[in-house]
């Protein structure tokens, strides 16, 4: 007698919606609009933090940066779906996607993904800078051709997925400064570490669906949740010292340091509760806390940007290019010539 598979725990939490219809909805699902909205947000944060002073803020450059990054992010999403058609079709959460459902040819999707990657690279390289262009296309390569093939092979795939999430704020920073100073790595580090407990909580809720799709996610291979809880707690706790580097390198001030410490401890406490008693409810609490952590920390970081201190080396590696310092620099050669003493006249 054939048995119907019981509903996955994730389906109880979030029932699968009916397959979307219409070109507009199909494009939204194909490019993963909601997920890539976070990519664009962190890109904008990196740009804002990289800029020195409101007078130097260039809205046109920010718009071009976000457009180029958005094209690259859409490319990665489309390529991922083209390459994962068969695995997506087995999962209740993803089987309604355009390629997995058969509404779009995987070959056509692959070609569109390559075209968007090229467009994003060309726009960024031609109008913004070579550094953000290289970062954007590198993100596409890592996500589509490293992270995606590794998903059914090893739990280490999550680390590569976290790298992809860490790159967007670095794109924004490099667009603002032309380079990758210490502040860019601080932002990338926060995003990298944050994604680990965030994703493991999500993967625990959808563990049955990931198992059905053949993905080697940690919660799939850890039925008791003990290892998953330990990893979630450890990585959430790392957010405290990583966040403090934002103040150490002068990206933000002491108010940010206090906020990052409090938010990191709060996030860690939620993970500890899951570790002690793994459940879908506890995992959802961790996931919701992760969604609150990121806008709080990044928002305070933007608001608590300290003034440029020309005598400090911890200003994210950026040179103090202020009008006053420039004037002093021009006057320096003249100051090296000693004027004739008044007594000699």
pLDDT digit string, tens, across residues 63-105: 999 999 999 999 999 999 999 999 999 999 889 899 999 899 9
Q: Range with the lowest mean pLDDT among 18-22, 32-36, 39-43, 135-139? A: 18-22
Structural domains for the chain = 20-180 (1.10.357.140), 182-323 (1.20.120.1780)
* pLDDT bracket for residue 305 (50, 70, 90): confident
Residue 197: predicted pLDDT: 97
pLDDT tens per residue across span 165-218: 999 999 999 999 999 999 999 999 999 999 999 999 999 999 999 999 999 999
- Is residue 96 a contact partner of residue 26, using CB atoms and an 8 Å limit? no
Residue 58: predicted pLDDT: 87
Q: How large is the average pLDDT for residues 213-242?
A: 96
Residue 57: predicted pLDDT: 76
Residue 179 DSSP label: S
- pLDDT reading at 333 higher than 80: no
| Contacts with 225 (C-beta within 8 Å, 6 or more apart), sequence order | 204, 219, 274, 275, 278
- Is residue 174 a contact partner of residue 180, using CB atoms and an 8 Å limit? yes
pLDDT tens per residue across span 246-301: 999 989 999 999 999 999 999 999 999 999 999 999 999 999 999 999 999 999 99
- Tallying the residues shown for the chain, one arrives at 345
Residue 53: predicted pLDDT: 54
Of 117, 175, 111, 119, nearest in space to 142 by CA: 117
Residue 22: predicted pLDDT: 76
């Amino acid at each position: 007698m054939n048995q119907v598979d019981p509903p996955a725990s994730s389906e109880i939490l979030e029932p699968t919606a009916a397959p979307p219809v219409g070109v507009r909805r199909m494009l939204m699902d194909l490019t993963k609009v909601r997920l890539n909205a976070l990519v664009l947000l962190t890109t904008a944060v990196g740009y804002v933090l990289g800029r020195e002073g409101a007078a130097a803020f260039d809205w046109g450059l920010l718009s071009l940066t976000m457009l180029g990054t958005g094209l690259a992010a859409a490319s990665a999403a489309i390529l991922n779906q083209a390459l994962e058609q068969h695995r997506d079709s087995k999962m209740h959460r993803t089987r309604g996607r355009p390629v997995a459902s058969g509404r779009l040819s995987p070959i056509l999707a692959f070609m569109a993904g390559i075209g968007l990657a090229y467009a994003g690279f060309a726009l960024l390289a031609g109008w913004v800078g070579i550094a953000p262009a290289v970062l954007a296309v590198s993100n596409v390569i890592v996500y589509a051709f490293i992270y995606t093939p590794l998903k059914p092979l090893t739990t280490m795939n999550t680390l590569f997925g976290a790298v992809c999430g860490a790159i967007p704020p670095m794109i924004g920073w490099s667009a603002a400064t032309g380079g990758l100073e210490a502040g860019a790595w601080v932002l990338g580090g926060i995003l990298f570490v944050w994604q680990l407990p965030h994703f493991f909580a999500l993967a625990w809720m959808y563990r049955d669906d990931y198992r059905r799709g053949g993905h080697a996610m940690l919660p799939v291979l850890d039925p008791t949740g003990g290892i998953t809880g330990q990893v979630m707690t450890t990585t959430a706790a790392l957010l405290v010292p990583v966040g403090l580097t934002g103040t150490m390198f002068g990206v933000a001030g002491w108010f940010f340091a206090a906020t990052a410490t409090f938010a990191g401890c709060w996030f860690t406490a939620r993970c500890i509760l899951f570790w002690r008693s793994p459940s879908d409810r506890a995992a959802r609490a961790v996931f919701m806390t992760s969604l609150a952590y990121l806008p709080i920390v990044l928002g305070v970081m933007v608001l608590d940007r300290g003034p440029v201190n020309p005598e400090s080396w911890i200003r994210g590696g950026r040179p103090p290019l202020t009008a006053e310092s420039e004037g002093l620099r021009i006057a320096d050669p003249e100051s090296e010539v000693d004027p004739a003493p008044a007594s000699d006249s």
